[in-house]
Structure 1
Amino acid sequence: MRIPADALPEGVFYERDGPVVRVVGTHLGRVRAPRDLGVAGAQLDGLIARQRDFFAARGQGVEWKVRAHDLPAELPERLVAAGFVAGEPAAVLIGPAAEVAGKAARAAGKAGGAAQVNGRAGEVGREPDGVVLRRAVGAQDMRRIAEQQTRVWGFDCSWVADDLTGRVTADPGQITVLVAEAGGQVVSSAWSVYQRGTEFVALLGGTTVPQWRGRGLYSALVAARAREAVERGFRLLHVDASPASAPILRRYGFQEITTSRHYQWVPPA
């Protein structure tokens, strides 16, 4: 799952440097690495510096995700010494798709959210209060999702539109993007990425605007994506969960296997 053979969006490519793979052509450079880099000390410092300097030459920042069980254990401190800044840790959760689908759907119904959504994930469903859950299609939908994500997080997420559009264009079968709309506004959104060659579907993006929280929309989108995973023959779900999401997902059958943390370097202003 760390270095999947995705169908890449136009303009995005992988470039290998020893044990790591650089993801080039996205809004922010990314480094994908195996669990054990197989280098330490000065060799590790050189590997880190090459990734930083490669993206610096492109005028970009770069992000390196580290799991708590990754090796060598000195990797986080070496990243910080090279100018990378540690983000907040996330809980890496794994859940059985069939169990999650049932528990999340029941929770959504109890909260008054999305109880009317039946059948294949992403088909149009309408709640009594007028919220519509549907599959997102086209560049305009992706722009509206990016705007909604920006409202939720409070920083610029405009890049999300190009990222989602590029993924769908490259291979519609590798991603499902869902939205919940109320009054013509996107109030919740989420997507899932199918990790071909594995049993896993990654759940990403799940966010709801503050005034619509507590109504079951987040749970409904989890249930819809879990149900589609089952229908498509995937057994397990994977989430890097925030402290807000992790307790909810644990109630649906997810278990924590480790933690992850993003280390990010940005060019000096």
Structure 2
Amino acid sequence: MIDRRRVLALYDAEMRREPIPEPGARVEHVGTIVRVVGGDNCVLFSDLTAADAREVVSSQANFFRDAGAKVEWKVFGHDLPKDLTKILGDEGFVPDDPETLVAFDLTNEPLGDPRTPGLEIRQVLEVTQLRDALRASEAAFGPNTHHFLDRYRDRLADPTVALFVAYLDGSPAATGRLEMPPGKSFAGLWGGGTSPRFRHRGIYRSLVAARAALARQRGYSFLTVDAGAMSLPILERLGFVPLTTTRGWILHPPPRRLP
């Protein structure tokens, strides 16, 4: 059984205080703030008090406003001060959908996978398969062609990420990726989605199991997911344990002024 407090403290130390950025981004430590700049800008960790929170939030907001950049401030359920989300809202940040950070202990027995007949899970290794992943992603989440292809085309040979496609009777039905930051205890599941016409057939579960098997093979201790309302009950049935809540607060750049 996962010791939630210990695992969450380890997650904070490894994944929030010392994150490994995606290519093209950099990590900056500014006082008690850890932010990722470039690509998907994010304030990933903060250690604030009631005395300094408003000043620090305003400073970070102005930094990204001055850069004309969108940023997400990721708030976890145990972050302080207690009114941090109110302070963010007062500064103009807008809440995204709430999620739950869940973890699976890979050092115990592997995830079971009672595979649906006709289902095949493949790791994306070439551009043709990448386009299949795109089809499945767009069916699940809506159009994102330019962003998706640009993001993953150059990472097909990257050992820190693995993109998977689930095929049902030969048709791309679902996709999801596994992020494997080097030197960390945690691998992460991201972007998992199933086309609506293929849902409720156990495909998402099998896609999770395939990625968990690779993370276990690579020696990771834990597998984490920021689980939305739809995936949370499925993941809990598979043995994932909730650690804390999480929610992104988004600040959009101000509109450009016409010359």
Q: TM-score, normalised by structure 1?
A: 0.78
| Distance in 2, Cα, partners of 1:72 & 1:55 | 22
Structure 2: distance between partners of 1:5 and 1:78: 25
1:19 corresponds, among 10, 15, 32, to 32
Q: CA deviation at 1:163?
A: 3.1
Residue 6 of structure 1: SS of its match in structure 2? Answer: coil
Once the two structures are superposed, residues 2-37 of structure 1 have per-residue CA deviations (whole angstroms, 9 ceiling, x without a partner) of 14452641x3222332122332220x4211214xx1
- Residues 177-186 or 221-230, more deviating: 177-186
Alignment-mate amino acid for residue 239 of structure 2: G
Query: Shift of residue 75 of structure 1?
Result: 1.2
Aligned residues: 241
Q: Is contact 2:19–2:27 with CA below 8 Å preserved after alignment? A: no
RMSD: 2.6
Query: Is the Cα contact below 8 Å between 2:42 and 2:71 reproduced in 1?
Result: yes
Query: Structure 2 unaligned runs (5+)?
Result: 1-14
Q: Note if contact 1:150-1:158 (Cα within 8 Å) is conserved in structure 2.
A: no
Question: Which of 114, 119, 122 does residue 134 from structure 1 map onto?
Answer: 122
Query: Counterpart in 2 of 1:232?
Result: 218
Which string of whole-angstrom CA distances, capped at 9 and with x for unpartnered residues, describes residues 61-93 of structure 1?
Answer: 110111111112121111011000112211111
Alpha-carbon distance between aligned partners in 1 of 2:101 and 2:245, rounded to the nearest angstrom: 5
Provide closer, same or farther for how the CA distance between residues 162 and 18 of structure 1 changes in structure 2, counting only shifts above 3 A: farther
1-structure distance, mates of 2:107, 2:84 = 36
Of 37, 50, 63, the residue aligned with 1:54 is: 63
Shift, 1:245, TM fit? 0.4
CA shift in 2, pair 1:94/1:250, >3 Å: same
What is the CA deviation profile of residues 83-119 of structure 1, one whole-angstrom value per residue up to 9, with x for unaligned ones? 001122111111122667433x13xx2xx25xxxxxx
Alignment match, 1:153: 141
Query: Quick check: 2:194–2:203 contact (8 Å CA) kept in 1?
Result: yes
Listed one character per residue, the Cα deviations across residues 116-139 of structure 1 (whole Å, up to 9, x for unaligned) are xxxxxxxxxxx3xxx542111345
Unmatched segments (≥5 aa) in structure 1: 114-126
Aligned residue number for residue 119 of structure 1: none
- Which residue of structure 1 aligns with residue 3 of structure 2? none
> Cα distance 1:147–1:30, how it changes in 2: closer, same or farther (>3 A)?
farther
State the one-letter code of the partner of 2:162: T
Q: Counterpart in 2 of 1:90?
A: 99
Pick aligned residue for 2:81 from 54, 59, 72:
72
Give the AA of the match of 1:15: E
Q: Structure 1 pair 178/44, CA: closer, same or farther in 2 (3 Å)?
A: same
Give the match for residue 16 of structure 2: 2
Structure 2 residue matching 1:161: 3-state secondary structure: helix
1:172-192 C-alpha deviation (Å, 9 max, x unpaired): 221111112357753211111
Taking the TM superposition and a 5 Å limit, the aligned residue runs for 1:32-43 are: 32-34=44-46, 37-41=47-51, 43=52
Q: Contact 2:68/2:254 (CA < 8 Å) preserved in 1?
A: no
The answer to whether the Cα contact below 8 Å between 2:21 and 2:36 also exists between their aligned partners in 1 is: no
Give the letter for the 1:151 counterpart: A
What does residue range 236-251 of structure 1 map to in structure 2 within 5 Å? 236-251=222-237
State the alpha-carbon separation in 1 of the partners of residues 61 and 220 from structure 2.
36
Amino acid at match of 1:177: L
Quote the residue 1:124 is aligned against: none
Question: Could you tell me the percent identity over the aligned residues?
Answer: 32
Partner of 1:262: 248
Q: SS in structure 2 opposite 1:23?
A: strand
CA distance in 2, matches of 1:40, 1:72: 6
Equivalent runs, 1:110-259 vs 2, <5 Å: 112-113=116-117, 127=118, 131-138=119-126, 141-142=129-130, 144-154=132-142, 156=144, 158-165=146-153, 167=155, 172-181=158-167, 186-259=172-245
